[in-house]
Structure 1
Amino acid sequence: MTRSTRDDGRPSSAELGRLLVEKGALTPDWGPAFAAVPRTGFLPEVMWPHDRDTGRATAVSRTDDPDAWHAYADSDVPIVTQWDDGEHQGAEPGVVFTSSSSMPGLVFSMLADLDVRPGQRVLEIGAGTGWNAALLAHRLGAENVVTVEVDPAVARSAREALRRAGYGEVEVVTGDGLLGHPPRAPYARVIATVGLRGGLMTWVRQTTPGGVILVPWGTYYGFSEATARLVVAEDGRSASGRFTQPVNFMRLRSQRFAYPRHSAYVPAGAASGASTSTTRITEAELLPDSTAVVEFALGLRVRDCTHVADRKREGRRPVWFYGLTDRSWAVVVFRDDRGTATVHQSGPRRLWDEVEAAYRWWEDRGRPGFPRFGLTVSAAGEDAWLDSPLNLVAPAAGPA
């Protein structure tokens, strides 16, 4: 791709800035911070950018290939900065990416949603590389930014990067972000750069009335999540607001999810005793893509359930559903050569019936997108709603 260059011949961030402005992600109030705080100051010597062509993360070394390193740093792509909680060694990708630098377009669109004002104190959950905290520090003053990072090595790197960039007064706390940071509370704004599945009331209590909490939130049904922009009520006892955009963050480490062991639900011979039916819901309708609202909506209606889609083989693809509070299970088997899919299900819950009913509910309401959904957080739990806080999607329920 064509890039503007600096005096030393390396790519600059000018083209990235223009791209972000054209996309509407970089707003005028964040332009000075973008120019003053380059992403390059917060990325490690060896990093693993997401390659759009291959869909994989590939290692790039600043020493071995500085032009490629700078080109990726100044691109609107996510970059993995840690694998396997730091246990990974070498240039080859690890098993699970556990820390990253989010794509700049997402960073600035979330900062725009946060709507910070001069002099406000901000709590960030998930320091990562420290770049997001530095951008906030440029706008608000380093003394007004607190960022919490659970991984000691990642926190140490963020602290050092912030110091090098001139924002050493940012307080980098090593700890569980779910607990917030009471010593500096209350905060006018809270922003999370990790995915949550519950437990937001602690942050509500640490936020001023009228303050904003911006958090990627979803259910254990699948990976789909969206940023909820919550405004804290005047009495400080709840927060509520709409979802703004689909996102896909690494989950808070204390809320990581271990998928059910299939054999514990479906031991040998169990399928023969399951009830059998068919459905006209298609594979494309159920599994359009990872950012589609349908998975998000189904997760709001079908609580305490997760699903796993097997790889398609010879035109056949099973999708499994597992109850998280009992041993209920279901499987729908899609075939390319058939107009209907076969369903098997067993246990106290009829999980596929719940999923199909949830899909019809979403369809009957005009296939609502993310902005029509919202979330209310209170001491009683977290309630998702459609169009109005009075129109609950499902009864309140905490994470399984």
Structure 2
Amino acid sequence: MTPDWVTAFADTPRKRFLPSVMWPYDQASEEHVTVDRSADFESWNRYACSDMAIITQWDDGASTRARAQRLTVGDYDTYVTADAKEGAQKSHTALPHDEVFGTTLWDANQFALGLCVPAVIHTKGLVENGARPVWLLSLNDRSWACVLFRDNGARFTVYQYGHRRLWDEIEAAHTWWTEQGRPGFGNFGLTIDKAGQHVWLDAEDNVVSSRPLIAAHD
């Protein structure tokens, strides 16, 4: 941001640009919460005026607020059918959970994964028989992957099904992020023009991800 924009930026309340429904990060529950201005204006206004990051869209605006919630049994059953279980491919990975996904919501590797592996839900299951399943579900088809992580493990079982090989995409994204020197948030920038929005790394001509602009809606 150039100096001549700093004052105007600081003096403009961001709530003027926030949608009616948004998803701030709740520190107590360590999850994103759904806040609806029409249903609870006080909570909406408190989050809007706070100094915290707020998600204003999920899946480029194509999803409903349900995308911000935990995976439900109904969601699971539409992906992991009997045929999908039988047809899933089994493999293994040596990448530990924290190395790939980080330990907090604000780790830069999660940001990099989101850029390189779009349209995916990432959720954790309950620990069972010493393993915690991590699920990846595609939002543009019924592809899925499940990795069974174990504490202090060195090799983890992976199941994948569908046109997209989601865990392969995750591993490729992690490899790319590592080869770039594990850049932090400050290394990335955003340019918006008539063609769309472009995320770049270190320089504007080094574009990582481009997506078309979508119509604004409230």
- Structures share a fold, TM > 0.5? yes
Assess if the C-alpha contact under 8 Å between 1:126 and 1:193 holds in 2.
no
Residue matched to 2:138: 323
Q: Which of 85, 93, 99 is 1:279 aligned to? A: 93
5+ residue gaps in structure 1?
1-113, 129-148, 159-176, 178-190, 198-218, 222-251
Q: Over the residues paired in the alignment, what is the CA RMSD in angstroms?
A: 3.6
> Counterpart amino acid of 1:256?
R
Assess if the C-alpha contact under 8 Å between 1:126 and 1:192 holds in 2.
no
Cα distance in 1 between the residues matched to 2:16 and 2:92: 44
Q: Which of 144, 147, 154 is 1:339 aligned to? A: 154
Cα distance in 1 between the residues matched to 2:127 and 2:11: 49
Query: Percentage identity across aligned positions?
Result: 35
Cα distance in 1 between the residues matched to 2:158 and 2:212: 27
Structure with greater contact order relative to length (CA < 8 Å, sep ≥ 6): 2
The within-5 A match list for 1:98-137 is: 115-116=6-7, 122-125=12-15
Residue matched to 1:195: 55
User: Aligned in 2, Cα 1:193/1:315: closer, same or farther, shift over 3 Å?
Assistant: closer
User: Aligned in 2, Cα 1:287/1:153: closer, same or farther, shift over 3 Å?
Assistant: closer
Assess if the C-alpha contact under 8 Å between 1:278 and 1:341 holds in 2.
yes
- Count of residue pairs the alignment pairs up: 182
5+ residue gaps in structure 2?
19-35
Q: What is the Cα deviation at residue 380 of structure 1?
A: 2.7
Question: 1:350 aligned to 2:210?
Answer: no
Assess if the C-alpha contact under 8 Å between 2:137 and 2:143 holds in 1.
yes
> Counterpart amino acid of 1:387?
D
Deviations 1:275-331 (A, max 9, x none): 111111111212322221111110011011121122334431111111111111111
Cα distance in 1 between the residues matched to 2:109 and 2:102: 8
Q: Which of 38, 43, 56 is 1:151 aligned to? A: 38
Q: Which has the larger radius of gyration?
A: 1
Residue matched to 1:394: 209
Cα distance in 1 between the residues matched to 2:206 and 2:124: 31
Q: Which of 177, 181, 193 is 1:362 aligned to? A: 177
Deviations 1:114-141 (A, max 9, x none): 83259x962422699xxxxxxxxxxxxx
Cα distance in 1 between the residues matched to 2:156 and 2:13: 48
Q: What is the Cα deviation at residue 382 of structure 1?
A: 2.0
Please give the TM-score of this superposition, normalised by the length of structure 2: 0.69
User: Aligned in 2, Cα 1:397/1:298: closer, same or farther, shift over 3 Å?
Assistant: farther
Cα distance in 2 between the residues matched to 1:311 and 1:295: 21
Cα distance in 1 between the residues matched to 2:16 and 2:54: 6
Assess if the C-alpha contact under 8 Å between 2:142 and 2:162 holds in 1.
yes
Q: Which of 256, 260, 264 is 2:65 aligned to? A: 256
Please give the TM-score of this superposition, normalised by the length of structure 1: 0.40
